[in-house]
């Protein structure tokens, strides 16, 4: 089998931009400056690290009344005493919802979790980390709209984070007994007298082997796998201080509901038998060994590596896999997957191989994928450097993140809620794939978002801001200023260089010299022919942004019109 051929061509600004567009949410000029002059290997070493530490968890930024003294959220009645379960600004992930809450907080937690994850994407480090988490949510799917439990969703996402660049087999093993996954795919209802095949089916069809001619497991294999997975359930109530209360979800094993018979698989699995190990005394440990044998049996199949590598290619490189891609990329990349099958950093090696391959940098694969809503919207605010509040204005921070969450939903992407167990169709649905992201319905919403974000002021008044300490710094107002964006460019006073840099950042496909000249004349020179016009007004504005000179004061609106025009182009929808 041929090895995956590494890229050995020139690694300049176009190649760096292509790599960053596929691995980050949008590319800001500061990202280019950070990696400037580095080799491909140096960039990949930073982009694809070992899995980082978990981020700080989401924090409560919601309340039910503008008067803090009357706020009912995250408070419950304990025999006539009102108790605050989660104070404003603290995390809720370790505090179960109680049945006697004065005002239900469940929906607010779910929204809060979506805002938090979106914020992590907006303020991401320059690594593949957040994109890998999104990849896992397209393949190891759970749905917030089905579970309606923020703690379950947070715990599942924490597994994605722990294994972002880790061992895929171990991730699958652990997610099999994840409370959220057990409840989502009815694993908690799977018993020997009433077997439920839901998880056993998706484990093979969606999580590991896929469908098609290569994956010829049988319907009986699904039923047999379901028997191995019987007996596990999730509890969320317990006795606390002598009272029955909700507790954090826990997975428990019930031997009486577990099928202890011999499980025999088809010829696809070489007729393997899995039996309870009589030498193991503990019931739960015996069941865990059966689970390990099941996962191990599935991952012995070469089809697992091919299926996962195809999904990676679809997500990060291109929607189509022809015979050449299959032989030149998928087959050798699958070999990398199998070579590191026991390595705790398996996916790190797989992703570095894919992103450093010669095929990934082919010219025809650049600027050819329609941006997902997430790539479009989060990429846009990162790209232009929209001024978000920091954690010293906590409610304003989550408020602005929620604006992006809601915008994403309007253009077809609900965070934490793929449309079904298979994920978003744009990542798997033949023959249209990424074309499903963009149509006559979604484009007006995309246009409305870039217009609003680039032109509107956003405010959160002191009168509606939860501020228990009466901190006068609360209250928030912001507006995009494109002059701040182009200050990071190498040559903002040169209209030709400014246009070049703006096009490199904003548009993946190349633009002709005639278009560049028209953009310069129409947006930077006010129809004039002399370049020094822009140089003069830019330098005048830069020297004094509060100037009263009408020529200089017009610079932000000139740039705003330029970047809005670029975002209105068809090329801006591609990455």
Residues 69-117: tens digit of each pLDDT: 778 899 888 888 888 999 999 999 999 998 888 888 999 999 999 999 9
Look over the chain and give the mean of its residue pLDDT values, rounded to a whole number.
94
Pick from 34-38, 72-76, 175-179, 194-198: least confident: 72-76
Average pLDDT over residues 325-337: 98
pLDDT category of residue 472 using cuts at 50, 70 and 90: low
C-alpha triplet 337, 325, 362: angle, nearest 5°: 105
Residue 99 placed within a domain = no
C-alpha triplet 413, 417, 422: angle, nearest 5°: 95
* d(C-alpha 50, C-alpha 163), whole Å: 9
What DSSP string describes 200-220? HHHHHHTTTS-SSTT----HH
Residue 520 placed within a domain = yes
How many separate domains does the chain show?
Answer: 1
Distances (CA, A) of 7 to 19, 224, 309: 12, 45, 18
Residue 411 placed within a domain = yes
Residue 523 placed within a domain = yes
Q: Evaluate if residue 469 carries a pLDDT over 70.
A: no
Give the residues across from 458 on adjacent strands: 478
Question: Cβ neighbours of residue 263 under 8 Å, at least 6 residues apart?
Answer: 224, 225, 227, 228, 273, 274, 275, 290
Nearest to 563 by CA among 372, 386, 367: 386
Question: Cβ neighbours of residue 38 under 8 Å, at least 6 residues apart?
Answer: none
CB 95 within 8 A of CB 86: yes
Q: What is the pLDDT of residues 310-323, one digit of tens each?
A: 999 999 999 999 99
* pLDDT value, residue 245: 87
Q: Evaluate if residue 470 carries a pLDDT over 80.
A: no
* d(C-alpha 378, C-alpha 445), whole Å: 14
Range(s) of the domain holding residue 395:
373-573
- Alpha helices, DSSP H only, in 385-432? 394-410
What are the contacts of 416-420 at 24+ separation with CB within 8 A? 416/110, 416/113, 416/114, 416/117, 416/137, 416/143, 416/144, 416/153, 416/157, 417/143, 417/144, 417/145, 418/137, 418/138, 418/141, 418/143, 420/141, 420/143
* d(C-alpha 543, C-alpha 523), whole Å: 21
Pick from 168-177, 437-446, 477-486, 506-515: least confident: 437-446
Q: How far is CA 25 from the centre of its chain?
A: 9
Q: Evaluate if residue 230 carries a pLDDT over 90.
A: yes
Residue 211 placed within a domain = no
Q: How many residues does the chain have?
A: 575
C-alpha triplet 384, 138, 314: angle, nearest 5°: 80
């Amino acid at each position: 089998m041929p090895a995956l051929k590494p890229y050995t061509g020139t690694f300049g600004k176009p190649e760096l931009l292509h790599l960053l567009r596929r691995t980050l949410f949008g590319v800001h000029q500061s990202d280019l400056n950070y990696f400037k002059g580095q080799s491909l290997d140096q960039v990949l070493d930073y982009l694809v690290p070992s899995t980082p530490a978990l981020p700080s968890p989401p924090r409560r930024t919601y309340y039910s009344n503008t008067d803090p003294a009357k706020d009912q959220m995250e408070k419950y009645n304990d025999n006539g005493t009102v108790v605050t379960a989660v104070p404003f600004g603290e995390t809720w992930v370790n505090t179960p919802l109680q049945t006697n809450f004065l005002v239900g907080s469940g929906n607010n937690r779910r929204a809060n979790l979506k805002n938090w994850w979106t914020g992590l994407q907006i303020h991401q480090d320059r690594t593949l980390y957040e994109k890998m988490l999104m990849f896992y949510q397209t393949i190891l799917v759970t749905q917030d709209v089905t579970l309606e439990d923020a703690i379950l969703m947070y715990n599942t996402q924490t597994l994605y984070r722990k294994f972002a660049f880790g061992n895929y087999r171990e991730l699958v093993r652990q997610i099999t007994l994840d409370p959220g996954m057990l409840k989502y795919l009815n694993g908690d209802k799977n018993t020997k007298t009433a077997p439920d095949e839901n998880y056993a089916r998706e484990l093979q069809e969606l999580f590991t082997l896929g469908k098609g001619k290569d994956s010829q497991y049988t319907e009986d294999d699904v039923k047999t796998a379901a028997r191995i997975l019987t007996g596990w359930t999730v509890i969320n109530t317990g006795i606390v201080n002598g009272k029955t209360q909700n507790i954090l979800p826990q997975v428990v094993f019930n031997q009486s509901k577990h099928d202890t018979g011999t499980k025999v698989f088809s010829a696809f699995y070489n007729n393997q038998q899995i039996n309870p190990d009589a030498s193991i005394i503990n019931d739960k440990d015996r069941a865990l060994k059966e689970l390990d044998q099941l996962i191990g049996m599935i991952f012995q199949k070469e089809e697992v590596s091919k299926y996962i590598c195809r999904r990676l290619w679809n997500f990060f490189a291109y929607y189509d896999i022809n015979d050449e891609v299959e032989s030149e990329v998928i087959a050798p990349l699958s070999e990398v997957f199998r070579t590191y099958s026991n390595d705790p950093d398996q996916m790190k090696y797989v992703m570095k191989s894919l992103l450093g391959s010669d095929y990934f940098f082919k010219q025809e694969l650049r600027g050819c994928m329609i941006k997902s809503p997430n790539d479009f919207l989060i990429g846009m605010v990162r790209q232009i450097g929209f001024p978000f509040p920091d954690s010293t204005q906590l409610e304003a921070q989550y408020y602005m993140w929620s604006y992006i969450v809601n915008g994403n939903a309007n253009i077809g992407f609900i965070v934490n809620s793929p449309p079904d167990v298979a994920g978003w169709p744009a990542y798997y649905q033949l023959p249209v794939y990424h074309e499903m992201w963009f149509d006559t319905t979604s484009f007006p919403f995309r246009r409305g978002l870039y217009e609003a974000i680039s032109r509107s002021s956003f405010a959160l008044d002191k009168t509606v801001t939860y501020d228990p300490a009466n901190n006068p710094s609360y209250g928030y107002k912001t507006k995009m200023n494109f002059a701040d964006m182009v200050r990071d460019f190498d040559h903002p006073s040169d209209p030709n260089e400014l246009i070049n840099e703006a096009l490199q950042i904003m548009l993946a496909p190349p633009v002709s010299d005639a278009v560049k000249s028209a953009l310069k004349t129409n947006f930077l020179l006010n129809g004039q022919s002399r370049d020094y016009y822009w140089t003069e007004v830019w330098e005048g504005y830069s020297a004094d942004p509060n100037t009263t000179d009408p020529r200089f004061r017009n610079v932000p609106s000139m740039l705003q019109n330029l970047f809005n025009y670029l975002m209105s182009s068809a090329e801006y929808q591609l990455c």
